Structure 1
Amino acid sequence: MITEMLAPPPRSNSQTNLLRPIGAYSLHGLAVAGDRLIALDSARGYLLSIDLNSENTSILNPDRVAQFEGATGLGIWEDTIWFTKEDSVYFCTPTDFTPQHFVTLPYTANGIAVWESTLYVTCQKAGYIFIYNRATARLITQFYSPGIGVEHIAVRGEELWVSDDIEQTVYCLERATGQMLFSVLTPFENPTGLAFQTNPQTGKDSLYVAYAGEEAYIRDDPNANPPHQLEYRDRTFIHRLQFHYNQEGHYALSNGFLIEMSYVEELLPLEAVHLQNVQWRIALPSETPRQKVRQISAVGLPFTEEIVDGQRIAVFKFDNLKPDERHLFGWKALVEVYGIKYRLTPRDLEKVPDLSPEFQQRYLVDDDELAMDTDIIRNAAIEAIGTETNLLRKAYRIRNYVYDKLSYGIKPHIDPPDVALERGVGSCGEYVGILLALFRLNGIACRTIGRYKCPQQADKLGVPLYPDYNHVWLEFYVPGFGWLPMESNPDDVIDRGPYPSRFFMGLAWYHVEIGKGISFEKLKTDTTPESGEEISIGELAINHIRFTILEELEVGN
């Protein structure tokens, strides 16, 4: 009996943004050939041809895989395939995959792109993009690399596009000068290749990005006791990076997701307490350039809504809370979230207006036990900026100074900035406290923001996700422009630097902004405890936080 071989069916629209080629282990380098993506699997040495519609995958170099093992960059121009391996650049043809040497770099060559008579090669250790003449192998010039990690590169017309695995960023540069135009955050970590594919019917470009890394999973081993064990496996895939550059607003948005977030308190006091005339106030998600609130509804009990400093707050009211009462109350929000990255340079801020008296009184003061009057904090504020006067450079230097002085560690409570700085270890809240103190002492208005991050699993749609911890970061103010976001500790990933700048003036899609510059949760009551201390929310209730990613949203290119 002969079975007819049928082509794989097309994938649904909900799948077209994410490709998981079967048999791929570590994709590094990406190129386009017609309506197919060509990907380089560095672990196996495979050149993979991937159909965008069906995800059907085939190996183009079945008898030449050894020559491509360990290769990282990939570029295609006309009838020639170019790739990088170790410190050299090679080329071959699609009919004969025997590598031919082109040029050797001083250090490891990472990514490669080809445009007409020019080759572009990235080199992390050198910190440059090297540009060669394709016919003579002569070095024409070199540009500074925009990030600090391993970078891959693609060309689109007069633009160079560069991905950086540590920065979790794709940069758009002028091809002639290497000047950065804007950058976008990728929705996943460790981008390892990128390529533009043009739809022949619409003429619209789609930017595909490869990712490679490891993921933890629970392995079921019947021979072990207990049978479930934590293991790690390769994780690699290709995803369509969507973006929109708002030149007037100096920012770029990237891949958006519609998420449902629930924040619910379960009233379960540790000790019997009787409270009267209670107002339980919980901040609601904010409206920002990267976050849109579609809908908010009450969970368990109804609430009234108030506006404080432009921020929405849910207010739950109880005439009496008896010791044996139990309640569930909170809110559920349907929120659009996007990645955002602002593009401002020190030159843009050479002449900024003075900070208004209102902002000075509100955002330059010690209003949250910031220890701004202690010697250690005052000396740190001076040491952090040196002789710098530019607002943006001061902010950047303060961030780097704090990263030099602190290492990340979680503690059961938050210490004041002077204690945390002297200890040298801090949680995200302690990073924020020190940053706030140093910013304000240097005349930069700033405020806290948070409160949770959606678990970073954008490929798990419709699955309830539960964050392990809350999280806070901050915003600093540029007179005449507005508020700019800055993460607290996630960019502190390299001992003594250089530090990535992905979350300096940027936030990923999974940050949910709630209660800008105000308390996230407060309790007001007429009851005064015998101890005279304030009533702790943590001793009265258990919070339940849940995220569900419902769908990926379109972003206009």
Structure 2
Amino acid sequence: MPDFYSPPLAELQSELTHAEASQNLIRPVGAYALHGITVCDQQLLAIDALRGYLLRIDPTTSNATIINGRSTEPFLDATGIALWEDTLWVARGHELLSCSRHQLEPQLFTTLPYPINGVAVWGTTLYVTCQKAGYIFVLNRETGRQITKFPAPGIGVENITVWEEYLWLCDQTEQTVYCLDRATGDVLMSVLTPFASPTGIAVLPNAKPDSGKLWVAYTFEEPYIRDDPNSENPHQLTFRDRTFIHALQFCFKPANNCTLSNRYLLEMCYVEEIAPLDELQLNQLEWRMALPATTDRQAVRHVEPIGLPFTLEHENGQSIAVFKFDQLHPHESHIFGWKALIEVGGIKYQLTPRQLEKSPPLSTEFRQRYLIDDDELAMDTPLIQAAAREAVGTETNLLRQVLRIRNYVYDRLSYGIRPRIDTPDVVLERGIGSCGEYVGLLLALCRLNGIACRTVGRYKCPPHADRLGILLEPDFNHVWIEFYAPGFGWLPMESNVDDIIEGGPYPTRFFMGLPWYHIEMSKEISFERLQAAGAPEVRLGDLAINHVRFRILQELPLMPTESPTQ
């Protein structure tokens, strides 16, 4: 359990320094769109596809030098590079080019029918990724002949690097790094990246699938408000290029069947402001707020009250902050809540369908608790029962069943904010749903197929891990689900976030995985609940306005020997 109230939060925060938090982030000045990167003589080489720059970057200072200042045109639109001995390999469009690292005049080596996204080389073997083909092609470095090919593990544009027996790929859409066996192409491990849109990857010598550190480049467009003094409306919404390189840290936990990635220390504040819509008086009011949970990827370091004191209670293993009012009079105002320091990190569970082929049946307790309609799930309606049968078809494997149900829901729903949460039958007919409505339909279809599942949530920190110390406020709350794999435990699955491609294929980045910015609360209990003596039920939204704030204080080290919940 966290040490509530002591030590003071200010003392803990005083230990943090921006220098420690920023040492894993490289922002080269003058770079616009970094793609392929590779290690070279203790430094990094990177391609800027937009400018055609080949940059030599010092990781300790972020200083960048253009080393092809007189020959940038051959490198324009290049997306991958690799270095073997003194030969530089470049992926550009359909072409694979090569040249001496000392004479940067790339010559055509071979072409492929589809654009090449990334290239890696080890000994006499070349590895090239191609999203359009859906494969990693393995070529002979001397002749260019294809030796074999491996299926690409993700659905997005992938870049690639190699060290000894392992291939490492980053996927832009999946927000994931994969480690593959270089001989067979089998996926050994996957890990979520802390930022979206990874476009380049470099492996440090001796990296293994169990733990290590990789350099990953990111490139994307960022919306921002531009100040144009010459315009009648000077504040204009536009976009700008953002690119940087960040150290991906990871650690495989065999006991938990999961891989952890970059951890952060967050400050989260949850506060209610009493602002009733109608005049009312409440007697013996008890206001219960759930606190963040401790899980495989999240640990609570410290909690303290805001505004008013609370008493700490426990319900189904969940910590609850309880605020008590003898009387709450009309027009009476209060601000109260809690502030917590939370350690969070990315997690990706590494289970396969084969591991669940002979999973034991659900216990009687789980069937009675997690296979019932306990939240207006419309499980007794013909429409939802037919959808449950159609979603899984003849599939019997639990993991494949859940994925099929998820994809079925994604095929039939589009995301949209609604003023209220409707039942799954209404949502399915309408074809548009909020995250809560996605969750309701997922729960109904899973439970009708004998899959135990539950709602979890409640908020996401705005995913800006490079903005340390800045107040960040989420626009919405958020919920997702966990499904139960007998013999292994609860596994997370995002509700609607992976529904990003009309008709699919859909990424699986958050299927059995959560990024660092999800804050886990409300497991088995209501997130917030009111109890008052002799009063009718009062809706929270009619009585108060909530305020949610985050600050990212520090990036934490991820040590292989460290327990994820310490």
State the TM-score, normalized to the length of structure 1: 0.95
Q: CA deviation at 1:98?
A: 1.2
Partner Cα separation in structure 2 for residue 306 and residue 57 of structure 1: 54
Q: What residue number does 2:558 align with?
A: 555
Q: What residue number does 1:4 align with?
A: none
Sort the Cα spacing of 1:110 and 1:417 in 2 relative to 1 into closer, same or farther, 3 A.
Answer: same
Mind listing any 5+ residue stretches in structure 1 that lack a counterpart?
1-10
1:180 maps to 2:183: no
Aligned residues: 540
Sort the Cα spacing of 1:12 and 1:78 in 2 relative to 1 into closer, same or farther, 3 A.
Answer: farther
Q: What residue number does 2:102 align with?
A: 95
Q: What residue number does 2:502 align with?
A: 495
Partner Cα separation in structure 2 for residue 342 and residue 53 of structure 1: 33
Runs of 4+ in 1 over 3 A off after TM superposition: 11-14
Task: Give SS of 1:125's match.
Answer: coil
Q: What residue number does 1:328 align with?
A: 335
Q: CA deviation at 1:398?
A: 0.3
Equivalent runs, 1:15-30 vs 2, <5 Å: 15-30=22-37
Q: Which shifted more, 223-232 or 79-88?
A: 223-232
CA contact (8 A) 1:258 1:553 kept: yes
1:156 maps to 2:163: yes
CA contact (8 A) 1:169 1:183 kept: yes
Partner Cα separation in structure 2 for residue 240 and residue 86 of structure 1: 27
1:230 maps to 2:237: yes
Partner Cα separation in structure 2 for residue 36 and residue 185 of structure 1: 25
Partner Cα separation in structure 2 for residue 78 and residue 13 of structure 1: 34
Q: What residue number does 2:4 align with?
A: none
Partner Cα separation in structure 2 for residue 54 and residue 294 of structure 1: 32
Q: What residue number does 2:12 align with?
A: none
Q: What residue number does 1:32 align with?
A: 39
CA contact (8 A) 1:312 1:515 kept: no
Q: Partner amino acid for 1:281?
A: R
1:274 to 249, 274, 281: 281
Q: What residue number does 2:326 align with?
A: 319
Q: Partner amino acid for 1:58?
A: T
Partner Cα separation in structure 1 for residue 140 and residue 559 of structure 2: 35
Q: CA RMSD in A?
A: 1.4
Task: Give SS of 1:99's match.
Answer: strand
Q: CA deviation at 1:54?
A: 1.6
The percent identity for this pair of structures is: 62
CA contact (8 A) 2:213 2:250 kept: no
1:407 maps to 2:410: no
Partner Cα separation in structure 2 for residue 228 and residue 166 of structure 1: 31
Q: Which shifted more, 520-529 or 468-477?
A: 520-529
Equivalent runs, 1:393-404 vs 2, <5 Å: 393-404=400-411
CA contact (8 A) 2:438 2:495 kept: yes
Q: What residue number does 1:291 align with?
A: 298
Q: CA deviation at 1:248?
A: 2.8
Q: CA deviation at 1:293?
A: 0.5
Q: Which shifted more, 543-552 or 90-99?
A: 90-99
Task: Give SS of 1:240's match.
Answer: strand
1:454 maps to 2:457: no
CA contact (8 A) 1:122 1:128 kept: yes
Mind listing any 5+ residue stretches in structure 2 that lack a counterpart?
1-17, 561-566
1:438 to 432, 445, 448: 445
Equivalent runs, 1:504-523 vs 2, <5 Å: 504-523=511-530
Cα deviation code 1:276-331 (max 9, x no counterpart): 11111111100000001001111111111221111111111111100021111111
State the TM-score, normalized to the length of structure 2: 0.94
Q: Partner amino acid for 1:288?
A: T
Equivalent runs, 1:112-127 vs 2, <5 Å: 112-127=119-134
Task: Give SS of 1:460's match.
Answer: coil
Q: Which shifted more, 213-222 or 469-478?
A: 213-222
Q: Partner amino acid for 1:517?
A: E
Partner Cα separation in structure 2 for residue 160 and residue 189 of structure 1: 21
Partner Cα separation in structure 2 for residue 12 and residue 276 of structure 1: 51
Partner Cα separation in structure 2 for residue 177 and residue 133 of structure 1: 16
Partner Cα separation in structure 2 for residue 352 and residue 484 of structure 1: 14
CA contact (8 A) 2:454 2:481 kept: yes
Q: Partner amino acid for 1:544?
A: H
Q: Partner amino acid for 1:546?
A: R
Equivalent runs, 1:351-500 vs 2, <5 Å: 351-500=358-507
Partner Cα separation in structure 2 for residue 237 and residue 67 of structure 1: 23
CA contact (8 A) 2:168 2:203 kept: no
Partner Cα separation in structure 2 for residue 153 and residue 455 of structure 1: 29
Partner Cα separation in structure 1 for residue 486 and residue 282 of structure 2: 44
Equivalent runs, 1:50-89 vs 2, <5 Å: 50-89=57-96
Q: Partner amino acid for 2:554?
A: E
CA contact (8 A) 1:341 1:505 kept: yes
Partner Cα separation in structure 2 for residue 478 and residue 169 of structure 1: 23
Q: CA deviation at 1:127?
A: 0.5
CA contact (8 A) 1:35 1:197 kept: no
Partner Cα separation in structure 2 for residue 309 and residue 102 of structure 1: 63
Partner Cα separation in structure 2 for residue 419 and residue 297 of structure 1: 42
Partner Cα separation in structure 1 for residue 418 and residue 409 of structure 2: 18
